[in-house]
Structure 1
């Protein structure tokens, strides 16, 4: 079976690129996998791909749509997959004989975050609804729509019948776990509005008053770095919070920490949650749409904080874990148990089953 994943590029270090690389490296043992990128040029792939995986980059003088259409007609794939890039708007129109799959790696309600900066509430609401229903309308032309959580699958299913969900696989294989003894909390993600690190800095001010010997390390880069640095400095927390940038060994960073905090306004899945679980960390997370409630166990391996933006409760839950080593141990062990659901073998089997159903339908 020949599968083509169409993605903007594989040169970024973000979660989507990591997930697709891990999945493809597993699936290429039984399937013929190709990545088709949009003008990546000579930028190297950030994550290593198995040598059995083919790479095609659509560049040059032809418009992207024209080049992609010619590529698909020439190569005759069984299944072609849109990963929510520019191709989403026209892939289903290309008559190359392949089954068309749309993978949406954002939450159903992501438009509420994307339009969050619009001050006029009526205009904001209108644009949110227009974007959402345009997405649903275009997705209705695909043979299958795949989302990341059961919660989002239910929401999509109000409009479409051909929707399913498959969890992201774990992208790390820790050989050791956190001892939860070090006085370090960790947060991981792009420094953007969606990830809510501004909330976390505000909460840490309260945490720091109770536990000044604990540190918070935030890993990731993004456009809000300067704004967050300014916020940290204004609150006089520069000795307690470090913006660490990207890490080449994030698994080690998890294992050097004792608490994982997710302060996002929205998470379609929350890959960092499953990574932290695999490394044995207790978790404090906002109950944001749509991933955290499905991926963790409130009171089991951590605490879900509701609503999003409840700074006082976020700080309180972090403090509770800091003050109780036995609780951190207990919740960290439960995290390891819960992470078993996301092993690559289990996830790959679900994809192969889905592809077989599509081909045979």
Structure 2
């Protein structure tokens, strides 16, 4: 079976890129022919280790070149790039003769299903339905986001299958008949577990508005006042890095918080920690929760749309906190700091749950079954 994935790029260290790497590598090892088509790679090296047996194509569309333009110029530029994208993608797909072509909800969403190359078309979203509006951009940008959200609802019904990551998100799409829930698999299942003895709390993700690190730092100030011997480590890069650095200084947390760049050795960072915190305003799934829990970390997360409640069983393997409630977030962190036996019990339960529900073989078999059903 020949499978093609479409994604903007694979040079970033994000969860979507990591998930694609793991899925593509698994499929190749299982004997599938896998190709990845990007639009914005610009010959940059992939962050994760993709199998050498995967074929890569870059169309050179470069949507990212439009960043920073005003809405009028960006719209005109986007429409031009869309025409170029559709023509180049169609030409390549006619050459490849794929069985399955999968869009990871990139700019091809509005036209991929129209390309009559003989393949079955699958759309998978790594965000939630409301991800555009959750950016909370104002003015004409809000109107544009609203319009594109409406278009999303129209386009998804045109695909042979639409895959979402959570049961929560499925409920938001209005009974779409072609929808299916497939969780992301654990990206690793380490043989050892965190001791949970280090006085270290960790959070991993890009430094963006979505991830809510501004809120985490405000909550951490409250934690620091009660437990000054504990440290917070944030692993990730992004456009808000300098803002967060200034916030750390303004809150007087220079000795209590460290910012580390993305690292391929993220497992060791988890193993060296005792609590994981996710402070996102919104998510598509929350892959970092699965990663942390697979290392035996108890987790604390804002109960945001979408993902945390599909992964964390509240008060069993972690704690869910009302989104944006900084006092409750601080209290939850302090609760686990002050109760080491609870940390151990939740961490053990978390590791077991991940191995049961999110192991790669189980999740990938769901994808194989989906592919086979489309080709019957």
The two structures share one fold, judged by TM-score above 0.5: yes
Shift of 1:129: 4.1
Aligned partners of 2:94, 2:38: CA distance in 1, in Å?
Answer: 16
Matches within 5 A, 1:121-136: 129-136=146-153
Aligned partners of 1:109, 1:255: CA distance in 2, in Å?
Answer: 33
Query: Which residue is 1:22 aligned to?
Result: 22
SS of residue paired to 2:127: coil
Flag the 1:149–1:204 CA change in 2: closer, same or farther, 3 A: same
CA deviation digits over 1:106-160, x for unaligned, max 9?
A: 111212322x132x6xx8876554332211111221111111111111222x152
Flag the 1:144–1:264 CA change in 2: closer, same or farther, 3 A: same
Query: Which residue is 1:141 aligned to?
Result: 158
Aligned partners of 1:195, 1:42: CA distance in 2, in Å?
Answer: 28
Of 334, 338, 360, which aligns to 2:349? 334
Does the 8 Å CA contact 1:2/1:31 hold for their aligned counterparts?
A: yes
Query: Which residue is 1:64 aligned to?
Result: 85
Flag the 1:126–1:64 CA change in 2: closer, same or farther, 3 A: closer
Does the 8 Å CA contact 2:105/2:126 hold for their aligned counterparts?
A: yes
The total of aligned residue pairs comes to 354
Shift of 1:64: 2.7
Aligned partners of 2:97, 2:215: CA distance in 1, in Å?
Answer: 48
Flag the 1:236–1:290 CA change in 2: closer, same or farther, 3 A: same
Query: Which residue is 1:117 aligned to?
Result: 137
Structure 1: any 5+ residue segments left out of the alignment? none
SS of residue paired to 1:194: coil
- 1:96 aligns to 2:117 (yes or no): yes
Of 204-213 and 78-87, more deviation after overlay is shown by 78-87
SS of residue paired to 1:193: coil
Aligned partners of 2:349, 2:15: CA distance in 1, in Å?
Answer: 24
Aligned partners of 2:262, 2:220: CA distance in 1, in Å?
Answer: 21
Query: Which residue is 2:12 aligned to?
Result: 12
Query: Which residue is 1:298 aligned to?
Result: 314
Aligned partners of 1:51, 1:126: CA distance in 2, in Å?
Answer: 43
Flag the 1:64–1:117 CA change in 2: closer, same or farther, 3 A: closer
Matches within 5 A, 1:1-361: 1-28=1-28, 29-59=30-60, 63-114=84-135, 116-118=136-138, 129-156=146-173, 158-306=174-322, 308-340=323-355, 341-360=357-376
Aligned partners of 2:177, 2:85: CA distance in 1, in Å?
Answer: 31
The TM-score with structure 2 as length reference comes to: 0.90
SS of residue paired to 2:375: helix
